[in-house]
A = this chain, B = another copy of it.
Amino acid sequence: MSATKIPSLGYALLGLLQKPSSGYDLRKVFSSTSMKTYSDSPGAIYPALRRLEKAGLIRGTIEEGSGLRRRQIFRLSPKGHGELKKWIMLPITREDLASGLKTIMLRFAFSEIAIGAAASLAILKSLEAALQPHLQALREQLQAMKAVAPTSARLALECGIRSYESLFDWTHYSITIYEKQMNGGVS
């Protein structure tokens, strides 16, 4: 019954909790990086942490350090670590692509620490495979639109296409880096 669906904020928290942190620490990470998109408001984070704890994915322990303020440090449980790994290793589908890169990039960013470089490489290859038909479809949409739509709508679509093309390039660049690193036999 690990089938309790976890929203993306939950996974973001699980990923960050690979390094034990308090709710406050997590909020700071969110608000100081480009992870702001996952909400840095206490009204989202604290309830989410409690849900994860109830689901047995994390454990919170109150820090007893002498003169410190009350601070609850959360850690991943083995189950939580398993859930995180499962999520990271999901194959990348075209729906994933259509609903934005945020989630994909989050999974990739966490992959190396959570599992290892081989998993990161696998994500890149899965992404590369999903990208080709997606780009194809977008280009066809552009052709179909060309006669009908106003310039701005057409350009907006072109922007999307360019951004996926740049993603495609990045994928190759990153694959190269990982393959070098692994042939070099580092770690």
Considering only residues 78-128 of chain A, those with a C-beta below 8 Å from chain B are: 98-102, 105-106, 108-113, 117, 120
CB-based contact B159/A33 at 8 Å: no
Selected interface stretch from A55-63, A64-72, A173-181: A173-181
What is the interface size of chain A, counting residues whose CB is below 8 A from a CB of the partner?
42
CB-based contact A105/B159 at 8 Å: yes
CB-based contact A102/B105 at 8 Å: no
Q: How far is the CA of A169 from the CA of B161 in the complex (A)?
A: 13
Selected interface stretch from A20-28, A46-54, A147-155: A147-155
Q: How far is the CA of A112 from the CA of B165 in the complex (A)?
A: 26
CB-based contact A166/B160 at 8 Å: no
Which residue in B100, B120, B151, B159 is a CB contact (below 8 Å) of A181?
Answer: B151
CB-based contact B37/A150 at 8 Å: no
A167 within 8 A of B: yes
Known: A158-B170, A166-B163. A98 touches B34 (CB 8 A): yes
Known: A109-B156, A156-B109. A98 touches B163 (CB 8 A): no
Q: How far is the CA of A113 from the CA of B151 in the complex (A)?
A: 9
State how many angstroms separate the Cβ of A137 from the closest Cβ of chain B: 9
A102, A108, A163, A167: most-surrounded residue (chain B CB, <10 A): A163
CB-based contact B100/A151 at 8 Å: no
